[in-house]
Amino acid sequence: MTLHSQAVEVLVWGGGSGGAAAALQAARGGASTLLLTPGAWLGGMVSSAGVCCPDGNELSPWQTGLWGAFLRELARREPQGLDHNWVSCFGYRPATAEAILRDWCRQAPQLRWWPNVQLLAIERQGRRITAVELLRGPERWLLQPQLLIDGSDCGDTFPLADVPHRLGWEARELWDEPSAPPQADLRGDPFFAAQPLQSPTWVVLGQLTPDHPPPPPQEVAPVPPPAVQLAEPFSGAAARFGLERTLSYGRLPGGLVMLNWPLHGNDWHHDLADLINAGAERRQGIERAMQQHSLHFAAVLQEASGGLLQQGACFPADPADAALAGPSPLALMPYWREGRRLIAQALVREQDLLPQAAGASIATPSHDASGTLSAIAVGNYANDHHYPGPDWPLAPKSCRWGGRWSGTPFTLPYGALVSAGVDNLLAADKATGVSHMANGATRLQPLILNTGQAAGAAAALCIQRGCQPAELPVPLLQQALIADPQAPAAVVPLWDTPWHHPQWRERQQAVLEDPARLSSTGSLLAAPPNLDPRQAPAEPGERLWQGELCPDGQGGISLRLADGSGCWPVITLEPALQQWLLQLERPRPGALIGCVNPWGPWLRVSRLAP
């Protein structure tokens, strides 16, 4: 077999959402970039894994960077809107997301994408990766990258290149993480050996039939769900929320349903060490069992629903088929929540993500050893770990905001992307320098897209300057992200400044110039923004809603419709409207612009009517 050889400026091993983002941003930054994916789709979590109800970064201040651009393009391409479920304010079809990413990559002239490649080996000399060997169809290739980005969910390149990394739990005594188990438990409890990482899921898509009507407007007091008993081994799956809420949890446009249910549902808890580390034949056998487990779960729900739920037709039946639709309900890859984690120049621990105070507070922004602000991406997911059995007790990091619960924001430092053992390696997906406990908050789609964006921007700057990632001045990267012409990305959490604010860039810049100006509540000290609750971007499907606004005294608001047709809980993702709603102390007439989601159920409003 002929061995082809080629030098590459930036080589991205992908398959994860962060890999696609990194490759796109590196190419947009002027670096000649080659993206490799093991499958035929390139979007990872947001498309090929079918996790199409993104968690985290839902508030408008956090809708920045590639995540924000992706969200707005989804809204443009999904004519039925995005608000269809109750786990997220956003739901979309997998093919829509994949089409967006492919279009973006096609429009980047410096980017090439090779799908369906098999990674064989990685050559390393001292602290540098010198070559990556792979199969592309019948051809064998040896690629020599100046810089390699691991954009996979599980850190696929780490064992091949002998990259220092972590896998599994860390004891509380190691870094004083409040939710980590003590060393004695790690040694004595067999649970930790059997569950070395968070449980993955093989997502399966269902389809609700047209005669499955939306629920009517609801009173604020919830109605207890009717008891329902599902067949084994999923007997407890609908016990807490009832069948209707279980089905609408991951509802998507067109009545599709994302089945990714953690409560006695289709999470996979078996053979996890082998799923990460075993040979290809063993891994494929476990993956087939995961698929059958999810298909069984879907069949049990179909039977319990009396046929209202059917199999969805979303993905190509052959994982090597690049088509954007197909007859199969099975996602093309597992939804990995965790894999190998890089030993990096910086470590993100659980306490680095926890708010400084109660309520709408932020975590202390990341700094490097010299005290310089080193933040390059903002996340806000609450923290969530998936294991068999009861929920793992985690330190709280959420607050009541906009009529709902939201996670408090934190930042990732640039050093968490930079390998401590290999000079020309960056991580761009879940395999960054985070602890096992922190991974539960850093692993979600929005932050991963922006983590990948930061890795790609850093790679382009390194090529441009002829330096290694550890030598790149972080302020240079921060400026590039804030000033990006296509997807400007926040690097510090300004809770009071939405992405569309006319002074968004200036306010981000002000914090970088003087970090002491950032308060613990995520505001710019002595410089409050000019927020008008009547101003926010329009969105498809919005309309005028009128009635009586009723505060409940606990941060919740409802709108009793003027036409007497019902009452909706009100939520908002906009800081200006949040401030206005907080001032309500008693019922008053209101006229709001927004979109209703009967499956939430909520009325999501963006602004007051003029």
For 28-59, the pLDDT digits (tens) are 999 999 999 999 999 999 999 999 999 999 99
Task: Point out the domain boundary residue: 473, 496, 515.
Answer: 515
Query: Residue 427 belongs to a domain with what CATH number?
Result: 3.50.50.60
Is the domain of 145 the same as that of 291? Answer: no
Is the domain of 260 the same as that of 301? Answer: yes
CB neighbours of 20 closer than 8 A, spacing ≥ 6?
14, 35, 42, 43, 44, 101, 105, 151, 452
Lookup: tokens for 122: 């990685």
Is the domain of 548 the same as that of 511? Answer: no
pLDDT of 555 > 90? The answer is no
In a domain, 247, yes or no: yes
pLDDT in tens, 208-235: 998 677 777 765 455 667 767 899 999 9
pLDDT given at position 222: 57
Cis peptide before 233 (omega within 30 of 0): yes
In a domain, 323, yes or no: no
Task: Point out the domain boundary residue: 270, 290, 311.
Answer: 311
* Residue 155 region by backbone torsions, left for phi larger than 0, else alpha for psi between -120 and 50, else beta: left
pLDDT in tens, 522-551: 999 999 899 999 999 999 889 999 999 999
In a domain, 335, yes or no: no
CB 87 within 8 A of CB 52: no
Task: State the pLDDT confidence band at 190, using cuts at 50, 70 and 90.
Answer: very high
Is the domain of 478 the same as that of 351? Answer: yes
pLDDT given at position 218: 63
pLDDT in tens, 142-184: 999 999 999 999 999 999 999 999 999 999 999 999 999 999 9
Average pLDDT (54-76) is 97
Is the domain of 350 the same as that of 498? Answer: yes
Average pLDDT (272-279) is 95
Task: Point out the domain boundary residue: 311, 326, 359.
Answer: 311
pLDDT in tens, 102-152: 999 999 999 999 999 999 999 999 999 999 999 999 999 999 999 999 999
pLDDT given at position 5: 96
Is the domain of 351 the same as that of 472? Answer: yes
Is the domain of 360 the same as that of 262? Answer: no
pLDDT given at position 427: 98
Is the domain of 451 the same as that of 551? Answer: no
Is the domain of 499 the same as that of 414? Answer: yes
Lookup: tokens for 484: 């990006």
pLDDT given at position 249: 95
* Residue 213 region by backbone torsions, left for phi larger than 0, else alpha for psi between -120 and 50, else beta: beta
Highest-confidence segment of 212-226, 367-381, 441-455? 441-455
Lookup: tokens for 124: 């390393």
Q: Which residues of 202-237 are buried (b: 16+ CB within 10 A; e: fewer)?
A: bbbbbbbeeebeeeebbeeeeeeeeebebeeebeeb
Is the domain of 102 the same as that of 231? Answer: no
Going from the C-alpha of 406 to that of each of 54, 437, 584, 604, the distances in angstroms are: 13, 19, 20, 14
Average pLDDT (565-585) is 94
Q: Which residues of 106-130 are buried (b: 16+ CB within 10 A; e: fewer)?
A: eebebbebebbbebeebebeeebbe
Q: Can you give the pTM of this predicted structure?
A: 0.97
pLDDT of 363 > 90? The answer is yes
Mean pLDDT estimate for the chain: 95
Chain-centroid distance, C-alpha 375? 18
Average pLDDT (342-353) is 98
- Which amino acid is residue 216, in one-letter code? P
Is the domain of 228 the same as that of 285? Answer: yes
Domain count, the chain: 3
Structural domain range at position 563: 543-608
In a domain, 433, yes or no: yes
pLDDT given at position 12: 98
pLDDT of 475 > 70? The answer is yes
Angle CA 275–276–278, to nearest 5: 70
- Distance, in Å, from the CA atom of 585 to the CA atom of 552, rounded to the nearest integer, reads 9
pLDDT in tens, 5-32: 999 999 999 999 999 999 999 999 999 9
Is the domain of 90 the same as that of 150? Answer: yes
- Distance, in Å, from the CA atom of 226 to the CA atom of 34, rounded to the nearest integer, reads 53
In a domain, 554, yes or no: yes
Beta bridge partners of 91: none
Q: What percent of the chain has pLDDT over 90?
A: 91
- Distance, in Å, from the CA atom of 326 to the CA atom of 461, rounded to the nearest integer, reads 39
pLDDT given at position 210: 82
Task: State the pLDDT confidence band at 480, using cuts at 50, 70 and 90.
Answer: very high
- Distance, in Å, from the CA atom of 226 to the CA atom of 224, rounded to the nearest integer, reads 6
pLDDT given at position 214: 77
pLDDT given at position 224: 65
